[in-house]
Amino acid sequence: QKEVEQNSGPLSVPEGAIASLNCTYSDRGSQSFFWYRQYSGKSPELIMFIYSNGDKEDGRFTAQLNKASQYVSLLIRDSQPSDSVTYLCAVNSGGYQKVTFGTGTKLQVIP
Amino acid sequence: DTGVSQDPRHKITKRGQNVTFRCDPISEHNRLYWYRQTLGQGPEFLTYFQNEAQLEKSRLLSDRFSAERPKGSFSTLEIQRTEQGDSAMYLCASSPIRGTSTDTQYFGPGTRLTVL
């Protein structure tokens, strides 16, 4: 079982819809959770982080964390074609600073 | 520009040659990380420094790989006797040691290595 799992996609949503990206993790001791986006050939860019169960909103983005079910999700409201990139989920299991990344979900927003 | 910088951005080398990459973290960040990323995969952790101390190394980091951060500022990653399987994007990231998000890592632009 991979430590951090994401569906590679592509996930296709129409413009203006809500895109829902999901991530599950295996280590119950995980403390911190991150979403990055990555344009092709570029490095990851931090979107947001979440530490506590529940929702955290930042503009059009909402991160949701459920530690009991070991999943974290990213919702993108009013999806735009410019949101069509790969989204990486990353998890820090604590103790030391190693962050484990998923393989990423490619999002396609259809105009 | 106060972000993480990496040099060079691209490197093409022949198999068997040695290469060295440099990373300059965000100035107030004490923690520095190296990752490797291949096509279709997420970044894979290689090693982690806090100040000048190398505190964690992945099993991915074979004996041909060495990383240093001699003065706790910039870091270098050297690959000796490169192999074609070393072709990847090498990413550096840094994070602060104080504040509310001390494990939030900010990435540099990466160095793309191609081994012929």
Q: How far apart are CA A86 and CA A46, in angstroms?
A: 12
Q: Is the pLDDT of residue B58 over 90?
A: no
Residue of B nearest to A6 (CA): B42
Which H, E and C letters describe B23-90, residue by residue? EECCCCCCEEEEEEECCCCCCEEEEEEECCEEEEECCCCCCCEEEECCCCCCEEEEECCCCHHHCEEE
Mean pLDDT of the B59-68 span? 90
CA distance B81 to chain A (A): 25
Pick B104's closest partner by Cβ from A42, A49, A101. A49
For residues B43 and B92, what is the distance between their CA atoms, to the nearest angstrom? Answer: 10
Per-residue pLDDT for B102 more than 70?
no
- pLDDT tens, A40-88? 999 999 999 999 999 999 999 999 999 999 999 999 999 999 999 999 9
Each residue of B16-34: pLDDT tens digit?
Answer: 999 999 999 998 888 999 9
